[in-house]
Chain A
Amino acid sequence: DTGVSQDPRHKITKRGQNVTFRCDPISEHNRLYWYRQTLGQGPEFLTYFQNEAQLEKSRLLSDRFSAERPKGSFSTLEIQRTEQGDSAMYLCAAAGANPSTDTQYFGPGTRLTVL
């Protein structure tokens, strides 16, 4: 158990609807990351937070995507006006404060299916 939980585990939605996912790391995880994984591919970086500050966003993160970590603990990822191409596994990873020594540990992911 990595201590990183995600909710929901599965989400099925219709095209055009908004969805929100949640990630809960343990308190020692200052850094929190979101990745997206499509079938047969490795995870791709979306964005990351150091405490409550969002420090980097990938070009994959279109304007329809927004992520927050308001209190530096849990994080949410919202997708507005979902498209079929958004169907993927959304993974959250968390790590301690030092990128030179602290490994990223992943949660179980949220599988999104857009119909």
Chain B
Amino acid sequence: GESVGLHLPTLSVQEGDNSIINCAYSNSASDYFIWYKQESGKGPQFIIDIRSNMDKRQGQRVTVLLNKTVKHLSLQIAATQPGDSAVYFCAQGAQKLVFGQGTRLTINP
């Protein structure tokens, strides 16, 4: 079956620095990957997605990289701001999503 894991449960960065959150997956059958941001007491918020026919996709201050060879996905947040503090989840799948456990991003002033 599918499993999605994250390399670190917590990540602490200085405000203004870049953040990199990593994710590993095991199932190559699904070609759709999504990053969600979840703030305390709220539902997951879509950030960015990528399909397996791409290696990189950029949004506003965020970049997702997909390495299919090693089954690795990363989310890069540029110039991290206090409002970026949240738990970040990678998810895989087109119909039912399989989520990782999440990485809690903390911003130090």
Interfacial residues, chain A to chain B (CB-CB below 8 A):
2, 4, 6, 31, 33, 35, 40-45, 48, 56, 58, 91, 93, 99-100, 103-109, 111
Q: Enumerate chain B residues within 8 angstroms of A42, measured Cβ to Cβ.
A: 4, 89, 91, 99-102
Asked if B97 CB lies within 8 Å of chain A CBs, one says: yes
**23 sampled A-B residue pairs with Cβ under 8 A:** A2-B46, A6-B43, A31-B95, A40-B101, A42-B91, A42-B100, A43-B44, A43-B99, A45-B97, A48-B95, A48-B96, A56-B95, A58-B96, A91-B44, A99-B95, A100-B32, A103-B34, A103-B46, A104-B34, A105-B46, A106-B43, A106-B46, A108-B43
Complex-state Cα separation, A99 to B32, whole angstroms: 9
Q: How many residues of B contact A (CB 8 A)?
A: 22
Contact B96 A56 (CB under 8 A): yes
Complex-state Cα separation, A4 to B101, whole angstroms: 23
Complex-state Cα separation, A42 to B91, whole angstroms: 9
Q: How far is the CB of A56 from chain B (nearest CB, A)?
A: 7
Complex-state Cα separation, A3 to B24, whole angstroms: 31
